[in-house]
Amino acid sequence: MALFTTLYSGSSGNCALIRSGREYLLVDMGKSCRTTLTALRRLDLAVSDCAGILVTHEHSDHVAGLDTFLKKHPLPVYSSAATLDALESRGTLPPAVEAVAIDGQTMDIGPFRVTSFPTSHDVPCCGYRIVTPDERVVAVATDLGTLTPVVQDNLMGCDLVALEANYDAFSLHGGPYPYYLKKRIASDRGHLDNKACAAEILDLIQDGCKKFALCHLSQTNNSPELALTTIYNVLLAAGIEPGRDVLIQAQERNDVSAYIEF
């Protein structure tokens, strides 16, 4: 049995968890060490059962808790060489931590087989495709302004896809952010909006995927209700009934989300 959840997910911090039996991987750690450890205890998981931490990129909402956590629990860290260099230059990675570059490669991490793939963001950034010991496949793709062919290829053939639904375009452009920030978010090197997320989910459903986790929702420019409504409308227009034909779950911003079995 394979399980996916997020310990927290949103513009204020992100941490995903992929579990098989007692062993698990973490993807990012964007809130404090204490918050992360409290969430793991709620799931009755020991740090010693974590095979490693996958890091998507250097932004604080993905690594803010990493330095303190690694000082207490020096687990191996995997990311692109550019991201590891950035983290090392900041002192985020203690000397005792094994830092492994995984640019576009596939490698075994504990019982999991992990492939990284680049995503289109304003710093070096990657997503991950993970195969569990029982050959179930999950992909995690957040912080991407556009769905490149490489990203789309890595999302195909999965049992579960955790995909960014960062913003609602109307809320962003009519909202309080300054113009330069709106332009950055909406660019091809920014974030994915609800409509682009919905279109990709429709394609993935037609490819056979039936389970989706919506991640990295903006607190200012989106809401679970807006994201789900946008996606449901696209799927219903295609004759697909959410809840019956497919599972789509918006992840909790400040709490552990319900497990999705895949």
pLDDT for the residue 127: 98
Residue 1 has pLDDT above 90, yes or no: no
The tens digit of pLDDT for each residue in 86-132 reads 999 999 999 999 999 999 999 999 999 999 999 999 999 999 999 99
Model pTM above 0.95: yes
pLDDT the model gives residue 55: 98
Domain hosting residue 47, numbered range? 2-261
Average pLDDT value for the chain: 98
36-85: per-residue pLDDT in tens? 999 999 999 999 999 999 999 999 999 999 999 999 999 999 999 999 99
**Cα–Cα distances in angstroms (integers) from residue 45 to residues 50, 149, 231, in the given order:** 9, 36, 33
pLDDT-derived band at 238 (thresholds 50, 70, 90) equals very high
pLDDT at 16 exceeding the cut of 90? yes
Residue 23 sits in a domain whose CATH number is 3.60.15.10
Distance CA 162, CA 6 (A): 10
**Residue 100 burial class via C-beta count within 10 angstroms: exposed 0-12, middle 13-18, buried 19 and up:** middle
* Average pLDDT estimate for 225-247: 97
Pairing of strands 99-101, 106-109: unpaired
The two tokens of residue 221 are 């420019």
Number of domain units in the chain: 1
Evaluate if residue 170 carries a pLDDT over 90. Answer: yes
Spatial distance between the Cα atoms of 97 and 74, rounded to a whole number of angstroms: 5
Q: Which residues pair with 140 in a beta bridge?
A: 128, 162
Q: Are strands 99-101 and 77-79 parallel, antiparallel or unpaired?
A: parallel
For residue 83, what pLDDT is reported?
Answer: 98
Structure confidence at residue 157 (pLDDT): 97
Residues whose CB falls within 8 Å of the CB of residue 51, separated by 6 or more in sequence, listed in order: 23, 24, 25, 76, 109, 110, 111, 112
Q: How far is CA 233 from CA 170, 198, 218, 226, 227, in A?
A: 16, 9, 20, 11, 10
Q: Can you tell me the distance from the alpha carbon of 127 to that of 119, in angstroms, rounded to the nearest whole number?
A: 6
Q: Over range 151-158, report the average pLDDT.
A: 98
